[in-house]
Amino acid sequence: MTAVVRILLRRVALLVPLLLGIVLFVFLVMRFSHVDPASAFFQGANPTPGQLHDFRERNGLLDPLPLRYVHFVGDLLHGDLGTSALTRAPVVDQVTTALPLTLQLTFLGLTLAVVLALAGGVTAAVYRDRLPDQVIRVVSLVGVAAPGFWLALLMIQYLAVDRGWFPTGGYVNPADSLTGWLRTMALPAFALSLPVAAQLTRIVRTSVVEELDKDYVRTAIGSGLPPLVVVGRNVLRNALVNPLTVLGLRVGYLLGGAVVIETIFSLPGMGKLMIDAVQNGDPAVVQGVVLTTATGFVVVNLLIDILYLLVNPRLRAA
């Protein structure tokens, strides 16, 4: 256990320079973009050069770049993401409002992807080179090639518009109606999860096939243990190491894909917030959404590393 704690502390310690690097990258990209925070603040008001200069001086925009970065990091440590140029409201309030929906969508998409990948990958491996395996391999190949936004449009057309089983967009708070929440989130979650599920299915199948060919599996089945027990208790645990590694990388796709999916289904999450901010020229909101999303991706990968340690005893021993 001491070794596990030591590894986890090392992982957590690495988060600090990684997060500082992300903050520096976002800071530099936003500072060298063509969007001027002063012009964005006075958009539509025809400010005079004196007003622009006063705004830049008051907000430290005329300070040297290293000093501005120090102030920027200090504001972040105090939970200050800036002020929206459009609404004049703190960005952290807008992020706090939009973030729960994106987390709900990402969690549902991740859960569906894992369930579909485990079911499809294990079934394909058990029925290797037979009809179920061939069908699952073809379906997963199509799923890998199909972009999420295209699947979303197909679902809206055939399941929402033609048949009316689901709404075409919008959001219902689960506190108001759990059934309504499930109906509004079902299509976005499936559209977000299917490409990830298809990729994971192929990886799970390969990992399970490799485990099934090992001697301990033949020995366990030959000693009288039911194949279902051997697969569920031993094979699946050992075969999850590689899929977990890929899953950590796919979380970034889920967070990024949520931007497009939320826009298609008119969901008021982080994705739609960022798209609206880009279209309206609101750099502080764009910056806040990017930083929050990047931090979430780093934290989720830390959790994946913890799961990786739990299912991989060889890594703990090393």
Q: How far is CA 200 from CA 155, 242, 263, 299, in A?
A: 22, 10, 25, 21
Query: What is the sign, positive or negative, of the torsion defined by CA atoms of 273, 81, 91, 105?
Result: positive
Tokens for 125? 């491996």
DSSP letter at 156 equals I
Report d(CA 275, CA 226) in Å as an integer: 53
- Rounded to a whole number of angstroms, the CA Rg of the chain reads 24
For residue 287, how far is the Cα from the chain centroid? 17
Q: What is the pLDDT along the chain (318 residues), one digit of tens a residue?
A: 566 677 777 777 788 888 888 888 888 877 777 666 766 666 666 777 777 777 777 766 667 778 888 888 887 888 878 777 777 778 888 888 888 888 888 888 888 988 998 888 888 888 888 888 889 888 888 888 887 788 888 888 888 888 888 888 788 888 888 888 888 888 888 888 888 888 888 888 888 887 777 777 777 777 766 667 667 667 777 777 777 777 777 777 777 777 788 888 888 888 888 888 877 777 788 888 888 888 887 887 777 777 767 666 555 555
Whether this prediction's pTM lies above 0.85 is answered by: no
The distance in angstroms from the start CA to the end CA of the chain is 13
